[in-house]
A and B are shown apart, each in its own frame.
Chain A
Amino acid sequence: MKDRDRRLELLSLNVSDGIDPDWETLAEATGDESERKEIGDLRSLSLIAGFYRQRRREDRTAGVEPGTLWGHLEILEPVGQGSHAEVYRARDTQLNREVALKLIRGAGDRGAPPTLTLEGERLARVKHPNLVVIHGAESRGGDLGLWMEFIRGTTLHDLIQSQGPLSGREAILLGVDLCGALAALHAAGLLHRDIKAHNVMREEGGRVVLMDLGAGTDIDERTQSLSVSGTPLYMAPEILAGGSGDVRADIYSLGVLLFYAVTGKYPVWADTVDGLRRRHACGERRRLRDVRPNLPAAFVACVERAIAPDPGGRYASVGEMEQALSTASGIAASRGAGRAAVRGKADSTWRRIFSRRRTTIAALASGAAAVGIVLFLWPGLLVASHYTVDATLHRVADGAHAQLLPGARVSPGDRLYLEFEASRALHVYVLAEDDRGAAFLLFPLPGQATGNPLPGDMLHRLPPDLHGRRYTWGVSSAGGTEHLLIVASPDALTDFESTLAALPAPQVTGGASALPLDREALSGLRGIGHLLETEPSADPESARPAFSLARRLAGGPERNRGIWVRQIDLVNPGR
C-alpha cells in the first residue's frame, strides 16, 4: 500500500472513531493537491458523522434521565448501550443497594421474544460464585428490566487489550474458574452460547464473573432449529454451519476464549461470517503452539482439544476440561473441598495478577528513550481515542507571548507555559528532561490546588495559578536539548505516578520549577533547562525512566486505553 493510501486509511479510521485531528495542519503538510482535497472531503465526512453522533447522544440522554425511577430502582447513570438493551447503574431504593439494570425499552409489545426475562429466569436457576447474581426481572410499562449485582471491574477483553495476553498459568486459573461457572450452568440444564472475553468480568477484588446469558438456551431446546446467536469468532463450527449445539459448543467457545487470553488472537479468523465458515470448512486455523510456543504443553493440549473442529474430539464435559486444566497447573482438582481449594488459589492469583499488572507499568520504567508517536504521522495529529487534545507550548518574553514549535530555541531566563484543552476530563502529567538524563516533574506538583483530572472542554494554563498569582516554568540553565513530555489519560496512571514520585519534586517556593512571572524571582531557581553537574550517561536512554515509560504507553497496548503522549524537543544551546 502506498504511503498516501495508508495515510488516507488512518485518517478515515480517525473520522470513524470520532477523532478530530488538526485538519489545517494535515492539509498544509501535504504537497499534493489531490491529497489535500481528499483531506478536505474527509473533514466534511467528519462533520457529518459528528452531527449525527451528537443527535444520537441527545436522543440517549432524553431516554432515561439520571434520577428517574423505574419501579423501585432509581437510575443513576448509563453504563452500557447495545442494539437491544441499555444498561444503567441504578439504586434499589427498597434495599438501598447498587444494582445494574438492563433495560429493553418498549419491548413488551414487540414481536421479539422477551429475551431479558428469559435471561433472568435462566440465571435465577443457578447460583455460583463465578456467575453474575440476578436480583429480579420485571415488565413495566412496556419496558423489560433485569437487575443484577453491579460489578466494578473490567472485562477480560479490555484487560487483554490494555495489558497484553495472560501468562499460561494465569489463563489456566481463569479457565478453572470459568469451567466452574459453566459446570453450574450445564448442571442446571442451560447452555451459555455467548462465551467471550467481553462477557467475562474481573472484579476489582479479583473475582472472575461470567455474565450475559441473553443468548443462552435450555439444553432441551438444542434439538430444535436454533438461529445463530452469539459472537461468530467464538462459535463452534457446527453452530456456524447452522446445526444445533450442546455443551461441547460452550466448551469450544471457552477454548477460543483461552486461546485469545494468551495470544490476543483467535484460532479461526475472517472478515465475514461466510469467510469464517469457509475457513472452518477448509480446516484453516492457527495452532496455539505456533502463535505462542512457550506455553506449558499440557495447557496447549487442553486448549487444542477444546477447540477441536469435531465435537467428538472435544471434552465431553466442562468437568473433564477443568480436570485437565488443573492437572496442567499442578493443582489437584476435585469436587467439593478440592474445588474450593482450587478456586481460592485462583482468586488469590487473580488478585496477584491484578496487582502485578498494575505495577507492570512502573516496572517498564527501565527501558529506552521516549519519542512522542504523535509526531510520526503528521504534526498535530492526535492519536488518543475517543477524545481530542490540543496542547501548545508558549514562551513569555518581554510581555509578549509566542507559541513554541518543536525544535524551537530556548535560553536561560525564558519562561514557558502550556495551554491544554481536551474534549473530556483527563489526568495530565508534564515532565521535562535534558540530554544528560536529569528529569523534573512539572505538573502536577504536590501542594498545588489545581490537580488531576483537569476538566474537559475548557482551556487550562499550566503551571496553574497559585494563591491568585500566575506562574511559569523557568529555563535556568543551558546546554543541549530539552525534552518536554506531556501525557494525558482518561484514568489516573497510578503506577506512572509512582515513577514520577521518584523524580526530583521541586517545591513551589524556594527552588521551584514553577516560577512567578516576576522576573526578579528567576535567579537561582531550577527550570526545565537546568544542568546537572554529571557526566552524560553512557546509555542516556536508560537514564530516562519516565520518558521510557511514556514511549511504551504510547506505542504499546496501553495506547488502546486512550493514553495520549506528546514530546516537544527544544534546543537550548546557551547564549
Chain B
Amino acid sequence: MVEDRKPLAGAALPATEATITLVRRARDGDGQALEALCRRYLPRMQRWASGRLPGYARDLLATDDLVQDAFYQTVRHIGDLRAEREGAFQVYVRQTLLNRIRDQIRRPHVMRTLDALPEPDARRASPLEELVGQQTLERYETALARLKPEDREAVVARLEMAGTYEELAEVLGKPSADAARMAVGRALARLAKEMGHER
C-alpha cells in the first residue's frame, strides 16, 4: 500500500484508551483482557528485561517466565489506576519489573549457583551495565526517578521501549509524532542535566 516507513494509523481505539480499559478489565478478573494486555506488552517487556538481567541470571531464570509472572502480578495488584496515559502504565510496569529483577537476582540460591559458574565477575553485569557501566546506569535510574512523570514516560517509551514517534504520540497523549519527538528531546536534555547532579 505504501512505500514510506511511516506507521499507518489504523485502529478504532487509540492504544492509550484501549490499554487503560484493558487494564481495568484485567484487574477485575477479565481473563481475555489480561491475555490481550500480555500480547501487547510482554514482547516489549521481555525485550526490556533482556538488557537488565545479568548473564548468570539469564541462564538460571527463564526470562520470559519472570516477565510474564511479574506482569500478571502487576496488573492484578495495580490498585486504583489513575493514569490517563498509556505511558504512565508502561513506566509502572517497567518499575515493578525492575524491582522484581533486583529481588530475584539477590536470592541466595541464585548466588550459590553462581559460584559454580566460570568467570563469575564478568557475568554479574547486565548487558546495559556492560555497555555504559554500573555507576552510570545507577545514575541514570536515580535521575530518571527524579524527572517529572511526563518526562519519565517519554524517556522510557523512546529509549527503553524503542517506540516510534507515531506510537509515542499515542502513548504520551501527544497530538502528533513531531510533538512526541520534541517532548522526548526535551526530556532527554533534562535527564542529562539530572544525571550531572548525581555525579
Contact among B1, B30, B199 with A102 in the assembled complex (CB-CB below 8 Å): B1
Residues from 269 to 294 in A contacting B, C-beta threshold 8 Å: 269-273, 276
- Interface size classification for chain B: 35 or more
Q: Are B12 and A118 in contact (CB under 8 A)?
A: yes
Contacts of A109 in B (CB 8 A): 32, 35
Given contacts A38-B196, A83-B11, contact A271 B179 (CB under 8 A): yes
| Interface SS of chain B | helix
Shortest beta-carbon distance, B67 to chain A, in Å?
14
Contacts of A80 in B (CB 8 A): 1-2, 4-8
Interface presence of B160 (CB below 8 A): yes
Shortest beta-carbon distance, B192 to chain A, in Å?
5
> Cα distance A271–B154 when bound, in Å?
14
Per-residue 0/1 for B136-172: is the Cβ within 8 Å of any A Cβ (1 yes, 0 no)? 1001100000000000000000111111101100110
> Cα distance A41–B141 when bound, in Å?
12
Q: Are B128 and A42 in contact (CB under 8 A)?
A: no
> Cα distance A365–B9 when bound, in Å?
38
Shortest beta-carbon distance, B188 to chain A, in Å?
4
Smallest CB-CB separation from A54: which chain B residue? Answer: B162
Q: Are B10 and A116 in contact (CB under 8 A)?
A: yes
Interface presence of B127 (CB below 8 A): yes
Smallest CB-CB separation from A217: which chain B residue? Answer: B12
Contacts of B174 in A (CB 8 A): 271-273
Per-residue 0/1 for B185-199: is the Cβ within 8 Å of any A Cβ (1 yes, 0 no)? 111110111011001
Q: Are B14 and A55 in contact (CB under 8 A)?
A: no
Contacts of A214 in B (CB 8 A): 8-12
Interface presence of A331 (CB below 8 A): no
Smallest CB-CB separation from B171: which chain A residue? Answer: A83
Contact among B5, B30, B36, B170 with A81 in the assembled complex (CB-CB below 8 Å): B5
Residues from 1 to 30 in B contacting A, C-beta threshold 8 Å: 1-15, 17-18, 22, 25, 30
Residues of chain B at the chain A interface (Cβ within 8 Å): 1-15, 17-18, 22, 25, 30, 32-33, 35-36, 39, 43-44, 47-48, 50-51, 127-128, 131-133, 136, 139-140, 158-164, 166-167, 170-171, 173-176, 179, 181-189, 191-193, 195-196, 199
Residues of chain A at the chain B interface (Cβ within 8 Å): 5, 8-9, 11-13, 15-17, 34, 37-38, 41-42, 44-45, 47-49, 51-53, 55-56, 59, 79-85, 87, 89, 100, 102, 106, 109-113, 115-116, 118-119, 132, 148-155, 157-158, 194, 196, 198-199, 201, 211-212, 214-215, 217, 227-233, 269-273, 276
